[in-house]
Amino acid sequence: MALKKGDFVELDFVGKVSVTDQVFDSTIEAKKPAIICIGAGMILKSLDEKIEGKSIGDEFEVELKPEAAFGARNPQLMQLTTLNAFKKQNVNPVPGLQLNIDGVLATVRSVSGGRVTLDFNHPLAGKAVKFWIKLKKQITDLSEELKVLCDGLNPEVKLKEKEIEISVDRKIPEKAAEIKVLQLKKLIPEIKDHNIKFTTREEKKPAPEAPK
């Protein structure tokens, strides 16, 4: 049966730079398949489009030009800053070093004359890439689908009639929780009439010491 938007599928993939065959991402090396919701923006749009219409068990390769992968390089995303700014943070910038700056990934391209050139382009911007993909199985269990869409929150799901409780390991701001609920209902139409609430798991407190 052909896969369609909204289907959840477990897959293996290997991503390589086309020119060098350098592997930049692999579920095989990680020994953990990926699970995605087709059309939910969890992978590159061009890969989503290639998976849609395929069937479980299919194995195929896709080659993508930069524009369909991680985008063309943008010279405006290069930034020059002072070496002293890094020294104040006890950071030794060297070419190739990747840093999280205000939530954005940057790569150090050069260090010269007290100046550091930062590149805020995606590390694979401007490169053609290729993917080997194998579609392993379709996920239809509602709890598993919810866990996939809440990945990163270490979710535990409890299902009741018309009610879903998603327990996570850290508090989610109220507005963010509202947006997440809307996303879940959009991607899983069968729960559009359910009441969904997020709760925070309390850390286990150490048992009191026995009286001496």
In the chain, domain spans: 1-71+125-140, 75-119, 141-202
Task: Taking residues 6-24, report their average pLDDT.
Answer: 97
pLDDT band at 102 (very low <50, low <70, confident <90, very high): confident
Would you state the structure tokens that stand for residue 191, as one six-digit string?
């729960």
User: What distance in Å separates the CA atoms of residue 118 and residue 168, rounded to the nearest whole number?
Assistant: 36
- Map tokens 């991607």 to a residue: 187
Q: What is the pLDDT of residue 103?
A: 86
The dotted CATH code for 1-71+125-140 is 3.10.50.40
Task: Give the C-alpha separation, 132 to 52, whole Å.
Answer: 15
| CA gap 58, 102 in Å, rounded | 41
CB 16 within 8 A of CB 22: yes
The dotted CATH code for 141-202 is 3.30.300
Considering only CA atoms, which of 16, 20, 38, 46 is closest in space to residue 28?
Answer: 16
C-alpha distances in Å from residue 166, one per residue of 7, 130, 149, 172, 185: 21, 36, 11, 11, 14
CATH code that applies to domain 75-119:
2.40.10.330
Strand 195-200 with 163-168, pairing: parallel
Nearest to 194 by CA among 162, 159, 147: 162
Mean pLDDT of 81-99: 93
Q: Is the pLDDT of residue 174 over 50?
A: yes
Instruction: State the average pLDDT over residues 53-59.
Output: 97
Q: Give 154's strand partners.
A: none
pLDDT in tens, 109-132: 999 999 999 999 999 999 999 999
Q: Report H helices in the chain.
A: 27-30, 45-51, 83-87, 142-149, 174-187
Q: Note the pTM of the prediction, 2 decimals.
A: 0.82
